[in-house]
Chain A
């Protein structure tokens, strides 16, 4: 038999083992900032819907607005990793082929559908929180892009493109600051810059590319997978979606990608889970060693245990759904369990891989 005195003594002992208060308030303040940010984003979404409704109701007014310059994005609203504002003007003849989003920057690859010779241009948008330093840019030649003061630099050092060299690739680039405070940098991918082209034509091309770029009202990145509620502590850190190759990638957890690592969404230090969705094809063969497991959300599924010594901590769950093969990989065995992979996969909505019209937000939250 126990006594109430025993119970009280246990309470006193356990209470003395309570966690240290150091850092709790700072973490709570950070959490409060995120809550406020999410609320502002929700308000911004409402504003975006309202703007869309007005645009439908008053096309003449909208047309006049567009003639003056790009549709302005909401000022002062912070973006989540699965939300995007960077895009191209539809009527310009350009189309976005790939879109990446990180903590405080976004990147798009876009091309002019009417011009076959030039394949790909690229734009990076640095959120105001990124702390982009425009000093180098402002040393360039002044010009104008869609009504914004802009600068053209023929030898801009683009960090992240080192191609194995110690120094960054130096390329022509054009940049400006949007009224939202976002800095936009436009350039052509290094591997499609045409050697021998006179600089004048290079500059004219980039200027033309830049005219098509827009900072739009914030909206969700769409993909053939739509992730549901995610385990606590491993939020989406970067997302990527591609219309052209129908590939979507999401990294959960980990440190934000460094500002100069703008190439493809990939794991960073501390990434817990990597999710990739690709159309069924030669690249998405289920490995022979994969074991068939219970279906996920009604779709066939397989599991491969991680091989000792590989980076894939707890293995990968493979799901074949609606023309896509989706892999949920536990990148770090201490941060994500095989069970969590299954929970994430079960909470995911799967759209028709080949029909972007059916796609939903890449993260539903």
Chain B
């Protein structure tokens, strides 16, 4: 597969994935740009693998996990004054925003596991392969992350049974 074909088909998916990992549009864009630059340099090899998307997604994951603090783009939080008044709150919106806040505070590995599991729909074996760690480690990360997010245990049990 040529680089141009790959980006035409997969760039939006990569950006969505990076967005979920980083939680920040600018960082997501930087992550993908940086990874694609490095991927392009060795595209002869990447384009020849069976699933270039999985390969590049792993590069994005690794880049995110090793993203150094100094690379963070300083952002200014939007407060009530800036917004000119609070946005109307939909009944369950507050809870979900709280969940979003908790998600943002998760350690990076845990967040990556959740995104790979519940957005990219990878199995724990596939996640272990992507993160180059043991399946037990993946499950440990997932378990701690879900506990931190106060995800209802009943739904977790059903999910776990189905995996």
Contacts and interface: CB of A to CB of B under 8 A. Distances in A.
Nearest to A16: B16
Given A17-B19, A17-B25, A232 B70 contact: yes
Contacts of B4: 25
B149 A7 contact: yes
Q: Interface residue tally of chain A, by bracket?
A: 35 or more
A1 to B, nearest CB: 5
A6 interface: yes
Interface string B1-37: 0001001000110011111100101101110111011
Nearest to A334: B74
A24 B155 contact: no
Dominant secondary structure of chain A at its interface with chain B: helix
B102 to A, nearest CB: 8
Contact of B159 (A4, A24, A32): A4
Given A3-B152, A4-B159, A15-B16, A9 B74 contact: no
Contact of B19 (A19, A28, A30): A19
Given A3-B155, A4-B155, A32 B40 contact: yes
B99 interface: yes
A28 B40 contact: yes
Q: Interface residue tally of chain B, by bracket?
A: 35 or more
Interface string B107-137: 0000000110011000000000000000000
A18 B18 contact: yes
A14 interface: yes
B71 interface: yes
A231 B30 CA distance: 14
A100 to B, nearest CB: 28
Given A6-B99, A10-B99, A14-B20, 13 more contacts: A3-B152, A4-B151, A7-B118, A14-B19, A14-B23, A15-B16, A17-B19, A18-B25, A21-B11, A24-B11, A25-B7, A28-B39, A31-B34
Interface of B: 4, 7, 11-12, 15-20, 23, 25-26, 28-30, 32-34, 36-41, 70-71, 74, 92, 95-96, 99-100, 103, 114-115, 118-119, 149-152, 155-156, 159
